[in-house]
Structure 1
């Protein structure tokens, strides 16, 4: 019951979003995103900038640490000046690794602040680990064979891909990739944020199972990161252990 209430709260929050929300497109580690947001809360990283040219020069200094550059980018992103936005853009074009992803987050914040200032209305920005496009969120899904040690047949693989694409398109979704490893079908897809994601899976699995009842009804889905086989198996083992513990508790 608690899970259903949480899902309802999430759905209610999504439905209340304005039409002009924006979504982070790039796939950026959630922990790095949280670190960025913590930086923005620190008042020492929100000091006003008097000389933008000097700050840009500091960003390229070889002796400057990544930590110092992160703080400068956050300071720039907090200004409602086009000049600050352009500086971040130029830095991102040559940045690599963590600093490139940090620059992407800074650009998003800078763009929001500029739009809020120009349009005189609050902007809503949504970010996930897997990113998205337009008003669609990217998800990673794992579909499970009834026996995860048994490989999907070629017919089952084709059926899964064809039917999944069909049901996604009906809801304006888009399948980006689908891979099969033993009894696991792992996909990456885009889906409109405001559409009900749960509805398509029930119908999709029912349709596939008309041809042999080979898919489990349960699926693993996340918008945080792409999972590898070890992580998927670990999740299933943990879920099985929790179910066993729960059954033992009920018997006691």
Structure 2
């Protein structure tokens, strides 16, 4: 499951419905779910699961399991190693998991990301078998920890060509820390630059994101009115300055003034 950037545009009703559907999924999660902790590029994740879906229908489990030690040979190609990883990740055998676990410790680069995804799959398969209940796997580009997801947040200055002064920077950071503490969140980083400020935070999966960040903006604006009501929020990846600037120029930001309207939507709303 991914939660992508909330966007304000002409298709606002569709976006509201998309957000509400995500909330339904989150609210219906069982107690046993796993969050991928590593920050793994979304494109790599999509390649992994697409490759796995196609390859696992080919009936090659026995071959890959028997030759799983090829993962540790330097003369074995990337393609062969990723084939072994995705195949043995679907085998309910602790030997498969231990092999992948050892390979994760020894690998690097893109094959490391494939190995992490395979290890998560293998671990969940074993847990499902031992506990006799289905496990839910949640993966995002920015990862998470425990039952919390990591988010990249962009607070937009009302003065697009200026930086926040020291007092405003302290106020924003303090309000962010206060709101995170109130919602069992975790602070990681905050950076201030011309036109906007960015932060990395972690929040529990079922947090009402709209209320959290709307509260921060409203509290800050009581003391100087220096933040825009719009913002950017994503758990897909950390954005570059050029990406943020492009989004601001094209209006691809979220307006939390719409939050109450989003909550009042009926299940049968049409686009």
Residue by residue, what CA displacement relative to the aligned partner does 1:200-247 show, whole Å, maximum 9, x if unpaired? 12221111001110000011010000001111001111228xxxxxxx
* Aligned twin of 2:171: 159
Which residues of 2 match residues 42-81 of structure 1 at below 5 A? Answer: 42=54, 43=56, 47-49=60-62, 52=65, 54-81=66-93
In structure 1, stretches of 5+ residues that fail to align are 241-252
Aligned residue runs from structure 1 range 13-162, under 5 A: 13-42=25-54, 43=56, 47-49=60-62, 52=65, 54-162=66-174
**Structure with the largest fraction of helix:** 1
Which of 213, 224, 248 is the equivalent residue of 1:201?
213
**CA, structure 1 residues 211+227, in 2 after alignment: closer, same or farther (shift >3 Å)?**
same
Partner residue in 1 for 2:21: 9
Match of 1:179 in 2: 191
Cα separation, 2, equivalents of 1:208 and 1:73 = 49
List per-residue Cα deviations over 1:3-58 (Å, max 9, x = no partner): 22221111011100001111000000000000110122013565222684x42331
SS of 1:49 mapped into structure 2 = helix
- Post-superposition shift, 1:75? 1.1
Distance 1:214 1:116 in 2: 50
Aligned residues: 239
Quick check: 2:64–2:87 contact (8 Å CA) kept in 1? no
Change beyond 3 A, Cα 1:209–1:86: same
Instruction: State whether residues 176 and 187 of structure 1, in contact with CA within 8 Å, keep that contact through their aligned partners in structure 2.
Output: yes
Any conservation in 1 of the 2:155–2:231 contact (CA below 8 Å)? yes
- Give 1 or 2 for the bigger CA radius of gyration: 1
Q: Which has the higher contact order (CA 8 A, sep 6+)?
A: 2
Is the Cα–Cα contact under 8 Å of residues 64 and 88 in structure 2 kept in the other structure? Answer: no
